[in-house]
Amino acid sequence: MRVVVQRVSSASVVVDSNMVADIQKGLLVLVGIEDADTQEDIDWLVGKIIKIRIFNDENDVMNYSVQDVNGEIIAVSQFTLHAGTKKGNRPSYIKASKPDIAIPLYEKFIATLEREFGNKIQTGIFGADMKVSLLNDGPVTIIMDSKNRE
């Protein structure tokens, strides 16, 4: 499982001209799922996401987590995070899970994030054509892959 975590001043997701998610200070998390992902991958990533210290303290040092600043989270499924670009100019998405595997894992990811974070997690709509807007604060963007945790 691969995520891109962006510290945001605000973020939103629109589907078919309808706002489906909207937050202020917090994290926008893009989530890519592959067939080999398990609950162990989810647990590790969720722990990292909610505890990673990328928010500034009173001395302008990144010492606070999203929990510490009472921030919000939007999670958006994004199969293109597993794009293979070694050959040619058209990315290959062969490593990205098909919906029958990805949807249950994505739902488990969201449920785990809600349970551990203690706040409602907003989401995009799996498989939809989403318009994601964000004001990246910093900019701060962190890439994490549960297969590279050692």
Neighbours of 82 (CB within 10 A): 19
Query: Rounded to 5 degrees, what angle do the CA atoms 95, 37, 120 make?
Result: 115
Residue with tokens 């998610």: 21
Catalytic, 80? Answer yes
Residue with tokens 């945001």: 8
> Which one of 80, 112, 123, 141 is the catalytic residue?
80
**Strand (E) or helix (H) holding 123:** strand 122-123
Structure tokens given for 143 = 């890439």
Residue 145 phi, psi (nearest 5): -130, 120
- Sorted by sequence, the CB contacts under 8 Å of residue 53 that are 6+ apart come out as 62, 63, 64, 65, 68
Gap between the Cα atoms of 101 and 23, Å rounded? 28
Q: Which residues are catalytic?
A: 80
